Structure 1
Amino acid sequence: MGTKSHLVFIPWPGLGHLVSTVELAKLLVDHDDRLSVTVLIMKLPFDSEVDSRTKSLAASVAAGIRFVILPSRNASPDTSRVPFLAHFIESHKADVREAVADLHRCGSPRLAGLVIDMFCTTMIEVASDLGVPSYVFFTSGAAVLSLILHLQSLQDEHHMDLTGLEGSDAELDFPGFRNPLPAAKFLPSEVFMDEGRRLLLSHALRSRETRGILVNTFTELEPHAVEALAGLGAPAVYPVGPIVNIKVESKKGPEGNNSPQGFEILEWLDQQPAASVVFLCFGSLGSFNEDQAKEIARALEQSGCRFMWSLRQPPAKGKMEAPSDYANPAEVLPEGFLDRTAGVGRVIGWAPQVAILGHQAIGGFVSHCGWNSTLETIWFGVPVAAWPQYAEQQLNAFELVVELSLAVEIKMDYRRDLAKGSNFVTANEIEGGIRKLMEGEEARERRKKVKEASEKSRKALMEGGSSYLSLARFIEDVRRH
């Protein structure tokens, strides 16, 4: 059997990052039984569900994976998001060192390395102190990784002032994209904010210091971007995706409990014709104000399309909290909307997204284009109407619509953090996107193309597939060093 090797994973504690990290750990221990993994969990002070979520994840994993919840830390009184997040990670360094020392004292196998989330690169210093290699897990795609590395190079090596791109009409050529990218519209907002840019590009710089970067993509989806990474001075790149949790319990609620709502949702879908329902869902942090919610409702009613809409209530202004379900969604919808659409649609709160996307009744997905959601929709062969919200989602939307032709646009350059005037999408715009997604010859051609991408995504993970072989290369590197 040979000697055992142990990897310690340090995920960013946000739900999307945590779930894909655990799925990667599963892939690794399934691939090679000489590997074991410990996942260190940091508790965000405003995340009340981390304990129940960790129990749920622990119950779903095989032998060889364990979880350690680190002590809670009040990182900083600073209420602005970027400094808080940076201080939060920094405050856990000593806890990570202690947790790794405890593993050694408990007789864990040889520590072979730390696998660090793309937002936790300060932990590379801990790996150096321990004398072990570090690897980055990049939870987004290869095109975004290539762009961030290129921006870091433009700033640090070519001394370009990136703030000059804000508000400009410049269309720039980026190595990971085939098409020129309108910089002001599609670069992450953080690039134009001093603190956010400093942090983002410092993660890129530190990633270059590691032994390798695991990327949640597959070569057949992003061949141009994967190839471009070699010319950007990246360390070894391992495309190991699509890392998606497709075996989740379809009827469980957000805390892992059986949900009556989950049963009702799927029973309603069972009664709908194949590929007839458009699903609207904007991720664990996605929400709209009341005016925009009303506009979505008008668009759905005008389209006459069957729909399932996950409508969430925004957190109070200035609060770093996730959206919640409305006690009474009728209060923020046009009067009589729920009655008038009762025969063709459902407005729900939390959504069992994977179960819904995998249902044969779903014909299209109005999505925020978060990367996990993007990979899930490709896995199930469902075309997308792109309506990004924040972070790198505008880039993902550009890639899906312009680069890959797997999606249509509702508003590709929408940014949740802009002033309302330039950030309001009308019912007519939304309706147009939904019709383009669901109706006509173009929609049929697009659906066919997405189905082909779906088949490639599944083959990539099978024995002999591109991601399977990439994972084997990573394991070989871990065991060799």
Structure 2
Amino acid sequence: MATPTIVLVPVWGIGHFVPMLEAGKRMLARSPHPLTITVLVMPEPAEAKRASEIAEHIRQEEASGLAAIRFLHLPAVDPPTDHSGIEEFISRYVQRYAPHVRSAIAGLTCPVAGVVVDIFCTTLFDAAAHELGVPAYLYLITSAAMCALLLRSPSLDAEVPVEVEFEEDVDVPGLPPVPASCLPTGLENRKIPTYKWFVYNGRRYTEARGVILNTVAELEPRVLDAIADGRCTPGTRAPPVYTIGPVIPFTPSSSDGEKAHECVRWLDTQPRCSVVFLCFGGQGSFAAPQAHEIAHGLERSGHRFLWVLRGKPEPGTKLPRDGNLAELLPVGFLEKTKGRGMVWPSRAPQKEILAHAAVGGFVTHAGWNSVLESLWHGVPMVPWPLGAEQHYNAFTLVAAMGVAVPLEVDRKRGNSVEAAELERAVKALMDDGGEHAGKVRERAVEMKDACRKAVEEGGSSNLALQRLCEAMLDGAVLPGKQ
């Protein structure tokens, strides 16, 4: 009998594509029986730079010689023109790929153990499970808390009258009451079409044979219990949840024969746990007024810092450009902070920086990938959310996990932060002897230990991967032959 395959259907964003591929590799490594991975690659509709990142990543994977992974490139389709926002755009675009996905899966000559789709791809459940009879799984690159909220969204929508906005705390089982201001972009406003997209997908998630989460069971036990008990899906079956994180694509540090990144070399000259690192993800950027507030806050804090400062995207593009420090920073700032601060205007090796002994805190946009990287290295955080689910992540990091110092972010004014508020948060995070800082730092170290143990032999994530692979292998079928 031919070796069964798991079909991965990621979207093209590098933050979605790479973690799903890494999850596939872990399934290969932990499966009790031979498996292969088949990745269906959808061309990106625009932003060729990010698409080229995916193409380069695929080339590297194919050159690695790992024969158990193969990539099938789907033909391009026309992008939709009618949509309310990025979430609905991606969902509608993916839906146009359903015939190609169906054909690709139906053309496989080996048993399919499961089709794993991204958070944006629930419309493909029809092609996989309903038309071909292949078990469909959902892969969320988010926290268990976000999974709980998405599963909860249909019942939450039904409980609140349509004409009433979310203005008070929202009940998400397993979490403290969630302020409405911390709901993810799209779920915080019931009047916009994107809100309906979230509710629709939350309803469809219950159709999945299982939900694969990029988290660690020990990080979010109460939320995971709430999902398993059905408290997030009243009246509806709760899908099994497999916590396999932290799924972080680990890249080797610079070898002796390579020159270390300039940021890392600078960190080598700094005392242990003395530097606060500021970095805001692949799309985080600031205009001069906000950059000035950050600069003043850092200067007044008196602490050492490494700040990745990107400039706003060029007109007609979405990706940040290298920061022009002469335009973005206050006059004299670099001279005043020389020796204790470094401002880096381009992309930086975030994982390598977080791993450095000199880094004692992380001001982050609170994207989940960055959160996991920080927890893996035991670095406490100050979350400065900029969009998507980041405000919700920031709430859970502070109120549920206790690994972060809160920061007052004005969401109604473009997620702005005043200099005095940043100064306060940095001091609260970095000052030695502070009771709150000590508790946050201690909790971050506990989470580091939990993350490391989870992926070891017998750890919670390791065992979850084994259960997942066993469940998939038990349900393997020839497409359309059920």
TM-score (norm 2): 0.89
**How many angstroms apart in 2 are the aligned matches of 1:335 and 1:259?**
35
Contact 2:9–2:40 (8 Å) recurs in 1: yes
Quote the residue 2:354 is aligned against. Answer: 357
> Counterparts of 1:458 and 1:136 in 2: how far apart (Å)?
24
Rounded to whole Å, the distance in 2 between the matches of 1:239 and 1:432 is: 35
Whether 2:453 is the aligned partner of 1:448: answer no
Q: 1:70 aligns with which of 58, 70, 74?
A: 74
Q: Is 1:331 paired with 2:333?
A: no
Alpha-carbon shift at residue 77 of structure 1 (Å):
3.2
The 8 Å contact of residues 118 and 140 in structure 2, kept in 1 or not, is answered as: yes
Q: Aligned partners of 2:239, 2:473: CA distance in 1, in Å?
A: 17
Q: 1:97 deviation in Å? A: 2.4
How far apart are the structure 1 equivalents of 2:43 and 2:267?
Answer: 36
In structure 2, the partner of 1:160 is 160
- Which residue of 457, 473, 479 corresponds with 2:451? 457
Range moving further from structure 2, 308-317 or 205-214: 308-317
Aligned residue number for residue 100 of structure 1: 105
Compute the displacement of 1:53 (Å): 3.3
- Could you give the per-residue CA deviations for residues 319-354 of structure 1, whole angstroms, max 9, x where no partner exists? 46222212x322111012123223112111201111
Q: How does 1:261-272 map to 2 (within 5 A)?
A: 263-272=261-270
Matches within 5 A, 1:120-135: 120-127=121-128, 128-135=130-137
1:57-86 deviation per Cα after TM superposition (whole angstroms, max 9, x unaligned): 545684412223333333123475334222
**Residue 435 of structure 1: aligned partner:** 427
Change (3 A) 1:429 1:61: farther
**Alpha-carbon distance, 1:43 to partner:** 2.6
1:186 aligns with 2:164: no
Match of residue 26 from structure 2: 27
Give the total of aligned pairs: 456
Q: Tell me what 2:218 maps to.
A: 220
Residue 235 (structure 1) aligned with residue 239 (structure 2): yes
What's the CA shift for 1:174? 1.8
Distance between the aligned counterparts of 1:268 and 1:66, measured in 2? 40
Whether 1:85 aligns to 2:90 is yes
Give the 3-state SS of the residue equivalent to 1:440 in structure 2.
coil
Q: Does structure 1 residue 116 correspond to structure 2 residue 108?
A: no
Deviation at 1:456, TM superposition (A): 0.8
Contact 1:124 1:134 in 2 (8 A): yes
Letter in 2 for 1:347: V
Contiguous gaps of at least 5 residues in structure 1: 253-257
SS in structure 2 at match of 1:309: strand
AA aligned opposite 1:55: R
Helix, strand or coil at the partner of 1:354: helix
Q: Which amino acid aligns with 1:457?
A: C
Task: Report if aligned partners of 1:112, 1:132 keep a CA contact under 8 Å in 2.
Answer: yes
> Secondary structure at the residue paired with 2:48?
coil
Task: State the secondary structure of the residue aligned to 1:364.
Answer: strand
Q: Is the 8 A contact 1:389 1:414 kept in 2?
A: no
In the TM superposition, residue 117 of structure 1 has moved relative to its aligned partner by 0.7
CA distance in 1, matches of 2:12, 2:441: 34
The CA distance in 2 between the partners of 1:17 and 1:163, in whole Å, is 35
Contact 2:314–2:321 under 8 Å retained in 1: no
Instruction: Determine if contact 2:362/2:379 at 8 Å carries over to the other structure.
Output: yes
| Inter-partner Cα distance in structure 1 for 2:173 and 2:245 | 21
User: 2:80 is aligned with what amino acid?
Assistant: S
Q: What displacement does 1:379 show?
A: 0.5
After TM superposition, give the deviation of residue 189 of structure 1 in Å.
Answer: 2.4
Aligned to 1:278: 276
Percent identity between matched residues is 39
**Structure 1: which amino acid aligns with 2:355?**
G
Deviations 1:9-59 (A, max 9, x none): 011221211121011011100112511111222232213223223324545
> Counterpart of 2:251 in structure 1: which amino acid?
V
CA contact (8 A) 1:330 1:338 kept: no
Query: Residue deviations 1:281-301, cap 9 Å, x none?
Result: 111121222211111111111
Tell me by how many angstroms 1:91 deviates: 2.0
> Residue 248 of structure 1 aligns to which amino acid in structure 2?
T
For 1:40, the equivalent position in structure 2 comes to 40
Structure 2: which amino acid aligns with 1:339? E
For residues 252-304 of structure 1, give each alpha carbon's deviation from its aligned partner in whole angstroms, at most 9, with x where no partner exists: 9xxxxx997x6212111111111111110111121222211111111111112
Give 2:152's aligned residue.
150
Q: CA RMSD in A?
A: 2.2
After superposition, the C-alpha distances for 1:211-246 in whole angstroms (9 at most, x for unaligned) are: 11011111110000000002133211111111112x
TM-aligned CA distance change 1:203 to 1:359, over 3 Å: same
CA displacement 1:380-417 (0-9 Å, x = unmatched): 00000111111111111111111111100123x553xx
Q: 2:223 is paired with a residue of what secondary structure?
A: helix
Match of 1:17 in 2: 16
* CA distance in structure 2 between the partners assigned to 1:306 and 1:59 by the alignment: 41
Structure 2 CA distance for aligned equivalents of residues 424 and 266 of structure 1? 29
* Partner residue of 2:474 out of 461, 466, 480: 480
Alpha-carbon contact 2:106-2:132 (below 8 Å) kept:
no
TM-score with structure 1 setting the length: 0.89
Matched with 2:251 is: 248
Per-residue deviation, 1:460? 0.9
Question: What is aligned with 1:255?
Answer: none
CA contact (8 A) 2:153 2:198 kept: no
SS at match of 2:405: strand
Name the CA distance, whole Å, in 1 between partners of 2:391 and 2:5.
37
CA contact 1:387–1:414 (8 Å) conserved in 2: no
Deviations 1:144-195 (A, max 9, x none): 111121121222xx353366234x2x12332131x11112x11112021431
**Structure 1 residues 389 and 272: CA distance shift in structure 2, 3 A:** same
C-alpha contact 1:278 1:362 (8 A) present in aligned 2: yes
Contact 1:313 1:323 in 2 (8 A): yes
Measured in 1, the distance between the counterparts of 2:183 and 2:457 equals 36
Q: Distance in 1 between matches of 2:224 and 2:363?
A: 27
Which fold has the larger relative contact order, with Cα–Cα distance below 8 Å and residues 6 or more apart in sequence? 2
Contact 1:215–1:237 at 8 Å: present in 2 too?
Answer: yes
CA distance in 1, matches of 2:244, 2:38: 19
**CA, structure 1 residues 58+304, in 2 after alignment: closer, same or farther (shift >3 Å)?**
farther
**1:400 pairs with 2:400:** no
